[in-house]
Structure 1
Amino acid sequence: MLRKKFYFIGNKLDAVVTDESGTVYPSIALYARDLKSRGYSSSTIKVYLEHILRFLNYLHRAYEIESVKRTITDSIIEDIIYSYNSYLTFGVDSDIELAKKIAIENKKNKNTAYSSISVINAALTSFIQYYELKIGSFENPKISRILKIQYRDVTTFEAKKVKENSLLGGVIAKSPDKLKKVRLGILKRVVDRSRKNVRHFPLDCIAKLIDAATSYRDKTIYAFLAASGCRVHECLQLTISDINQMNYEVELNSPWADKSRLKGLSEKEAEQLCWKGRQTKMTFLIEPFKSIFFKNLEKYLRYERNNMMPHKFIFQNQKTGKPYFLSDRSSREKQFKKHASVSCDGNIEGISIHSLRHSYGVYTLNYLPLPQGDYGLNISYVKILMGHASIKSTEVYAKADQDLLLAQIAYANEEMFSREKINIHEIRIKYHEKELKKLEKLLPQKNNKETVSV
């Protein structure tokens, strides 16, 4: 295995890092505290810290290997940093000898998915930026030298974009009034920009996903995410008081809106609550997932939930009874992908539990039938439903659906043989009638006996 230089001691969220000699490195803890002060969730902080420690251990080992062979120059340092991307994505099959050697030492036979690279890059560049701007030095001289940032002159386009968005975006201003330099991304070189992973869960597979879930809890969670378009943490932090089963309504409230919501949580557990500042409590639940949600919620509360637990959160760990939001996110994601694989015939590239939120956005913005015969809500309405602070976040759901275009062309081609004019409105009606029939087939039959593993 890769010889580690740096280790976590105790709870990773405490970010106490030491080396093999027992020296403690407070820089990591200061960085973790900074992330927390900026509103990052505990799960995100934990993931970032894990990525950073793996990166530092790789750098240290790479430095050891290279320093034996030659004098370390700035050019070699840059090559070491960029070799990490090859180490992650190709492992023992890397064409870079240094990355391959460390991957063999670490027995890294499973390559990191392309979809994870952006998260790792965000973690590493975030840490290096903090290190450079706030710390000024790292206690280990080898690592300190490697973490030296590389710069180039900023382009006019980049300067304009940073000004428009009011974000650093990986850019460091050398003076308060004029942008001078731009930082190079750590994992920038090998990221494949041509890979356009589908981010929304296929609309016609959602009912199959819910059916594939092996507990009423997971069925209820998936149905609510699809019906409401809420964020995963908003769903997992629902309490009994947020749901009006009589009126079939659900509100999404900040976990800190009322102190009583924290009942039954320890201080450390409460720190793991997350809230991204949703702009409205309102949820607009779409069918058929609304009905599926309330049906499975009733069964979950009756057959699975431990109602003797002191906390008010609806969703629980099935073994401990503790709030489900405290569980390991990777385990939840693994369980979801297992169910998704069944419903999507194994094609789950780019799919995560967050994809259900994207499906809601795509549907309400493009396909939701309206009284006047049109389809898709005004983007300003979808912004409210999604809880976005900026309409730019909502714009990603606007799309020209390839299936719809193909259906229109196929239908129009058939009609051309018998008509001189094509009625686009009629095409839309026929298309959506066909899609409705597909959804109706997916709806569970009233008299069917359900089997669920509890």
Structure 2
Amino acid sequence: MKNFILVDAPVTSEGRYLLIHLDPHVTDQAREFEPFTHFAKWMARHGFALNTEKLYAEHVGRFIDYVYEASRTQFPADVDLTAQTVIYSYQAYLLFGQGATNPIARKLAVSLGKEKLTSNISLSQTIESSITWFLRVSEERNKIAPDQLFSPFYLNLREYRTQREASAQKAKSWLAAVIRDSLSSVVPKRKRDKLFPQAKRRDKKNDKRPFKTIAFPIERAVSFVRQPKPPRSQTFYRDMTLYALLAATGARTSEVLQIRMSDIDVDELSVFLRDPFARSSPGLTEEEHECLSWKGRDTEITFLIEPFAAIFWQHLEKYLALEYNSSAGHDFLFQNSDSRPFFASDRSSREKTFKNYAMKSGLASTAGISPHSLRHMYGTYTLNYMPVPGRDLPGLPITYVKILMGHSNVTSTMKYAKQDTDMVEAYLQHANQYITQRGEESFMTIRQEFHSRQLEVLQKEADRISGTKND
């Protein structure tokens, strides 16, 4: 950001983040940007997950920086500069940067040094939501106090400035009403409405992958969790135990990181994933307790798949013997190098470590790869490739995969466990060979042959039922 910096709020503050002015002309007393502080408090009151709070704070901070820069930039007289036009131009700024046709977006992209373009997926998944919530909270706040973000767009207009000079008190009330009405005109009123129209164009099956995170390559997974220990690593067995368990269970990273010693049954070779808020957590600091999270899981039972299950138990034995500190004052399985719970560590640092191991295992690129990729791999494998006794084709029914992944409904499973394109290509190749070998004429009778085969199946079933009755 050019005009602001996002910082952690004091521990006594209700919100987690503050947005601080970098403008040297702003007094120290006014450096804290109040509309953002109010939004941060609102997120804390509504129980947003820590990662979501951080992500929303970053997106809203960049949006505020954009609006603030617009309020300080001189535009040609023919540019319609209002709160609405600035908000709507932000979409063009994100998607096209300095190549935008929108004059507001293009000029601000230059002044803010916007070079990396934002994807439609990012716009639709988190940016749209975070800014919409911020504007809604700001809209409510304006009923109490005048807005500090959009007011420059009105004060800079001559007709507004003249009325303000005529009567300061009257203008203040009128100004607040104008800004409130402006925000009301852009904030979506219905759930399906979008602040940015481009956000509607999301997750197209023909040219968009559904998630930024991609499945870890199945053919590389075993070598990933079987790689040799680096000579100086002090947390290698912890990391490999974690990765093997993620691959074996398909669990979310947050669920596995919060496993406690009592959740592991070595005799039965079982691992349970339990809600951390449904039981006490002795030994945690207040800050660590705030890092606990639980997205919800339909069952606490995990279903471990081989060979990762065996690899997990092997790594676990070495981790407990060589790296785990049993006198750390808490019973969480995964620990930092200082013996504090690993789930409270920095997420970006964990993902960086994961990518480093992935590169060492032979991955050519780690784009889209994270610990969550092992969950995607689990879903892809169980749905498409897992050997099933008594079936010619591999893969479990999606309703079974739903249970394995702990989903409460099959819709969630469909998002994670997409049919692999390799399987689709294999089916298509087989069908093409069938048509090619039998000639073009076979295409004309394909429907007739299909119904003939169906009749044969039905006749066999009828004969079976008839035979059962005779018995």
One fold, TM greater than 0.5?
yes
Question: Residue 195 of structure 1: which of 197, 201, 208 is its match?
Answer: 208
Deviation at 1:410, TM superposition (A): 6.1
Contact kept? 1:151, 1:184, Cα under 8 Å = no
Alignment of 1:235-246 (within 5 A): 235-246=256-267
Question: Residue 217 of structure 1: which of 238, 246, 256 is its match?
Answer: 238
Deviation at 1:126, TM superposition (A): 2.9
Alignment of 1:275-424 (within 5 A): 275-318=294-337, 320-343=338-361, 345-373=363-391, 375-397=394-416, 399-407=418-426
Deviation at 1:302, TM superposition (A): 1.6
Name 2:2's counterpart in structure 1: 2
Name 2:196's counterpart in structure 1: 185
What is the CA–CA distance in structure 2 between the aligned matches of 1:137 and 1:209, rounded to whole Å? 56
Q: Identity rate of aligned residues, in percent?
A: 35
Name 2:16's counterpart in structure 1: 14
Question: Residue 127 of structure 2: which of 120, 126, 130 is its match?
Answer: 120
Name 2:72's counterpart in structure 1: 64
Name 1:232's counterpart in structure 2: 253
Name 2:270's counterpart in structure 1: 249
Deviation at 1:271, TM superposition (A): 1.2
DSSP 3-state at the match of 1:280: coil
Deviation at 1:281, TM superposition (A): 0.7
User: Which stretch shifts more, 351-360 or 208-217?
Assistant: 208-217
Give the alignment's TM-score, normalised by structure 2: 0.70
Name 2:163's counterpart in structure 1: none
C-alpha RMSD of matched pairs (Å): 3.9
Q: 1:337 to 1:405 in 2, by over 3 A?
A: same
Deviation at 1:405, TM superposition (A): 4.5
Contact kept? 2:351, 2:370, Cα under 8 Å = yes
Q: Which amino acid aligns with 1:205?
A: R
Q: 1:406 to 1:137 in 2, by over 3 A?
A: same
What is the CA–CA distance in structure 2 between the aligned matches of 1:190 and 1:112, rounded to whole Å? 14
Q: 1:6 to 1:280 in 2, by over 3 A?
A: closer
User: Which stretch shifts more, 77-86 or 143-152?
Assistant: 143-152
Structure 1: segments with no counterpart, 5+ residues: 153-169, 174-178, 420-454
Structure 2: segments with no counterpart, 5+ residues: 154-178, 231-235, 439-471
What is the CA–CA distance in structure 1 between the aligned matches of 2:433 and 2:90, rounded to whole Å? 58
Q: Which amino acid aligns with 1:72?
A: L
Contact kept? 2:70, 2:86, Cα under 8 Å = no
More RCO (CA 8 Å, sep 6+): 1
Deviation at 1:189, TM superposition (A): 8.7
What is the CA–CA distance in structure 1 between the aligned matches of 2:319 and 2:99, rounded to whole Å? 47
| CA deviations over 1:55-96 (Å, ceiling 9, x no partner) | 21121012211468666235642454224414xx75x77777
What is the CA–CA distance in structure 1 between the aligned matches of 2:269 and 2:208, rounded to whole Å? 40
Name 1:129's counterpart in structure 2: 136
Deviation at 1:107, TM superposition (A): 5.5
| CA deviations over 1:184-234 (Å, ceiling 9, x no partner) | 327639979533267322222212332458511221111111111111100
What is the CA–CA distance in structure 2 between the aligned matches of 1:357 and 1:304, rounded to whole Å? 25
Deviation at 1:97, TM superposition (A): 6.8
DSSP 3-state at the match of 2:193: strand
| CA deviations over 1:300-341 (Å, ceiling 9, x no partner) | 1222223331121111222x2211111111121222223334
Q: 1:255 to 1:352 in 2, by over 3 A?
A: same
Q: Which amino acid aligns with 1:302?
A: A
Deviation at 1:376, TM superposition (A): 2.8
What is the CA–CA distance in structure 2 between the aligned matches of 1:386 and 1:369, rounded to whole Å? 18
Contact kept? 1:313, 1:323, Cα under 8 Å = yes
User: Which stretch shifts more, 262-271 or 234-243?
Assistant: 262-271
Q: 1:192 to 1:411 in 2, by over 3 A?
A: closer
Deviation at 1:274, TM superposition (A): 0.1
Give the alignment's TM-score, normalised by structure 1: 0.72
Deviation at 1:113, TM superposition (A): 6.5
| CA deviations over 1:285-313 (Å, ceiling 9, x no partner) | 01111111111111112222233311211
